[in-house]
Structure 1
């Protein structure tokens, strides 16, 4: 009886535990609903990544030529539009900035983004990139903060695209969840950027799609291969069962 009571208590705690680890603090993470089969989205995300992220962050587990082949670009397109720190298309995606300079400027070395989509999750990335807001605290070196990652050392690199968001004075970060269509529950746009809110969300979705690809370039191939493996095992099971029946049909059971 005690074992059953303990098991019931554990099962009741599981949903709350999952909810706690899936979010960041009290802010509910948003689902970007990415599609790794959307080649156009991957290409737009790659453009954003090399222009905004690759200035400070490495993606040292990815190579330009592999990326080109996977997302439908030619090597010439990548050379002419996406390579700023090297002229060899077979090189890995690294930045020119040294780790010492990066630490000096930002206080910490920017993390490698090769597998951040797997370590943090795409929901976290999407929410994080939507969660920057103006913070006038003198302790904030770049004048911004983030709902998902409080006191983050990173500047808001998409400030020109999104515009300036501010916290609503009547709500705190833990009082309401963030809406997927607007940041109005916790944040409001004080100064528009080059994109409206929908355009910016779509741009961030494209970027997260590309970063999800970086984290596991062979994911679609693995899933397709998995289907064939399951079909093979199903056929093998039928053949094995038939063989077993054939071998044992003349055996008399006592």
Structure 2
């Protein structure tokens, strides 16, 4: 991962007007905030490949450690790449002032990205990059055409190229499919798992309480089922002599 790959991130993930309508053309990420191991892997991917430019200003490192069953030492050693303390929010490595000078606008905070666009959008977006020499950073995206964010995960995924479908009379040629022209460090299946974990982590960051809510929800349902059974027995006992 190059320094350039860490800092040349823009507002591609934050612009809500340019992505597909809800559910349209999106791949199912099958993300889950109930899989702690997946969230741990997703956190590792985020802080190694995304935190150079993107912050999680509503999430503290200490909360990540608590929710993901990580020790403070593990978080400090493997997830904190700034001079931040364990109790501070997860801010980007790049300084906002520098980002504004270099890009005109600081890369967006991703704390609520999964809630704003859905884990499926993030998952599909990270699978949709392809080489495009006409773009300033050399990359484009089929889900978000014209995205100025480069494919920072290209070392893992490999390089995809676009194959155009034959143009019909009076119509412009369009992309038919993306082809993996240069393999990455991961197989396609492993890459899918990696970005699924990343999508799950961002889903967790968007609503950390969901983990506990889902865990408590199971017991609530069991209690209601038990209470219903007791209420039925009570009703039967009260009404057994009523004709």
What TM-score do you get using the length of structure 1 for normalisation? 0.74
Distance 1:230 1:192, change over 3 A: closer
1:92 to 89, 92, 97: 89
Corresponding residue for residue 57 of structure 2: 60
Whole-angstrom distance in 2 between the partners of 1:117 and 1:190: 30
Corresponding residue for residue 69 of structure 2: 72
Corresponding residue for residue 116 of structure 1: 113
Map 1:1-254; keep pairs closer than 5 Å: 20-23=21-24, 28-137=25-134, 140-170=135-165, 186-229=177-220, 235=227
Does the 8 Å contact 1:133/1:164 carry over to 2? Answer: yes
Whole-angstrom distance in 1 between the partners of 2:211 and 2:191: 27
CA deviation after TM superposition for structure 1 residue 196, in Å: 1.8
Corresponding residue for residue 252 of structure 1: none
Structure 2: 5+ residue stretches without partners:
1-19, 239-243
Superimposed CA distance per residue, residues 35-72 of structure 1 (whole angstroms, 9 cap, x where no aligned partner): 32222211111111001111000100111111011112
Whole-angstrom distance in 1 between the partners of 2:102 and 2:33: 34
Does the 8 Å contact 2:158/2:180 carry over to 1? Answer: yes
Whole-angstrom distance in 2 between the partners of 1:151 and 1:59: 25
Distance 1:103 1:87, change over 3 A: closer
Distance 1:198 1:226, change over 3 A: closer
Distance 1:229 1:195, change over 3 A: closer
Q: What is the SS of the residue equivalent to 2:85?
A: coil
Structural RMSD (CA):
3.0
Q: What is the SS of the residue equivalent to 2:196?
A: helix
Whole-angstrom distance in 2 between the partners of 1:36 and 1:194: 26
> Which has more radius of gyration?
1
Structure 1: 5+ residue stretches without partners:
1-18, 177-184, 247-254
Corresponding residue for residue 12 of structure 1: none
Distance 1:83 1:174, change over 3 A: farther
Whole-angstrom distance in 1 between the partners of 2:166 and 2:70: 45
CA deviation after TM superposition for structure 1 residue 141, in Å: 1.8
CA deviation after TM superposition for structure 1 residue 233, in Å: 6.4
